Amino acid sequence: MYAGHAAIATLVKGKRPQLSLALLVAAAYGPDWIDVLTHVVHHPNPDLSHSLVSVVFVSLVLTLSAASFLGNAFDAFLVGATYASHWLVDCVTGLKPTWPGGPQVGWHLYDSPRRDFALESAIVVACWLVYRASLRRDVRNAIAAYLMPIGLIALQAGFALVQRKLPS
């Protein structure tokens, strides 16, 4: 999942407007940040970034850290849950490790680019509708409000095109 992670952050933001969208987007892509770091240090390891064990552990650490900054346990829980959502939605589009040496699970929709694009686009629109409802009435129908889902869907289309051109 690519654009869907940002969409989930907008969904949470729509339900809890006091939370920072930047924080939620960073949390939603958290395992990918760890994955990039493992590549930077030349030790790529999906078990460190995307395994269920890693995601649960980091989500708990993030929740506890956020609690001290946000001062609200439920908001902190939502930040951690946004991080944990990464694994769940990645299992829809790809295959993800459960634990080191354990099985990989997922629907692997990347093998069906049209279905993957349709699903992610639907997720983007559904999450954006929740976010849009949280906006003030005077900005809900502004062009800028519509740029978010359009941009995320365009981003997803770009990822799909790049993936098709990359050698296997």
Other CB atoms within 10 Å distance of the CB of residue 93: 21
Range of the domain at 19: 3-165
**Could you give the number of structural domains in the chain?**
1
pLDDT tens, 61-72? 999 999 999 999
Tokens 């949390």 identify what position? 27
Q: Are 15 and 134 in contact (CB under 8 A)?
A: yes
pLDDT in tens, 112-155: 888 889 999 999 999 999 999 999 999 999 999 999 999 999 99
pTM above 0.85, yes or no: yes
Three-state DSSP class for 81?
Answer: helix
Please check the confidence at residue 168 and state whether its pLDDT lies above 70.
Answer: no
pLDDT tens figures, 44-99: 888 889 999 999 999 999 999 999 999 999 999 999 999 999 999 999 888 899 98
Q: pLDDT value at position 167?
A: 53
pLDDT 10s digits, 2-61 = 899 999 999 999 999 999 999 999 999 999 999 999 999 998 888 889 999 999 999 999
Angle, helix 73-93 to helix 21-28, in steps of 10 degrees: 40
CA–CA dist 84, 24 (Å, integer): 11
